[in-house]
Amino acid sequence: MIAEQIRARGVRDQRVLDAMNRVPRHLFVPGAERHEAYEDHPIPIGFGQTISQPYIVAFMTEALGVEPSHRVLEIGAGSGYQTAVLAELGATVYAVEVIEALAIRARQLLDELHYANVHLRAGDGYAGWPEHAPYDRIIAAAAPDDIPRAFIDQLVEGGILAIPLGVINQQLHVSRRVGGKQETIGTMPVRFVPMIKKA
């Protein structure tokens, strides 16, 4: 997976490659689909949600430039796989998942794998996690129409945000907070599940 799907497609940060090599991806995939765990495509994890393809996880993680000193907010934790990759980089991760059953499952698995630097809760991703803000990095694995204002407000000056935007023709936006606004660093076409706002 690392050699053929990630390094071969341009991800060069050795820390990211090593982190993904250490995370047992198959444990984050439901049993019926576990044989597909290391293939380069999204996999259903129940409740209409997916675990992102390995390349996208690697690309977004590299784009963030996560350091061990960073506090990272993750929106749409899903299975907890991206959470684990971020934790392997040494960051303190605050992850939010709107579907409570997925949040419980992910938290149990991350606890079993002894990720002490992870905090995960069920909640409305649109609100971020203000109690622990500000964050050095924010990453979202679900697509809203526009960047929620809470994300900008909870990001430190100079902090980086990686988020898919749009409904049909989605674009991954990587941007940096400068003067309270987001300046785009780069974009690429992607396909993510929509971001759900809790009723």
Q: Domain for residue 199, yes or no?
A: no
Q: Which domain holds residue 29?
A: 2-189
Q: Residue 198's pLDDT is what?
A: 61
Assess if residue 29 is contained within a domain.
Answer: yes
Domain annotation covers residue 136: yes
Over residues 102-108, mean pLDDT: 97
161 backbone dihedrals φ, ψ, rounded to 5°: -120, 135
Q: What is the largest CA-CA distance in the chain?
A: 47
108 lies in some domain: yes
Q: For residue 199, what pLDDT is reported? A: 44
Which comes out higher in pLDDT, residue 186 or 97? Answer: 97
Q: Is the pLDDT of residue 105 over 50?
A: yes
Judge contact between 67 and 1, C-beta under 8 A: no
Is the distance from CB of 183 to CB of 157 less than 8 angstroms?
no
Produce one character per residue of 67-86: b if its CB has 16 or more CB atoms within 10 Å, e if not. Answer: eeebbbbbbbbbbbbbbbbb
Average pLDDT over every residue of 3-30: 96
Domain count, the chain: 1
Would you say residue 180 lies in a domain? yes
Across the chain, mean pLDDT equals 94
Residue 25's domain is classified under what CATH number? 3.40.50.150
Q: List CB contacts of 71: < 8 A, sequence separation 6 or more.
A: 91, 92, 94, 132, 134, 135, 136, 137
pTM (2 d.p.): 0.95
Interval 53-85: pLDDT, tens:
999 999 999 999 999 999 999 999 999 999 999
With respect to residue 23, please indicate whether it lies within any of the assigned structural domains.
Answer: yes
Does the annotation mark 52 as catalytic? Answer: yes
Residue 55 resides in a domain: yes
Contact 123, 57 (CB under 8 A): no
What is the structure's pLDDT at 186? 86
Q: Which of 162, 123, 167, 161 is nearest to 144 (CA)?
A: 167
Q: Which of 52, 69, 79, 175 is catalytic?
A: 52
pLDDT of residue 165: 95
164 found inside a domain:
yes
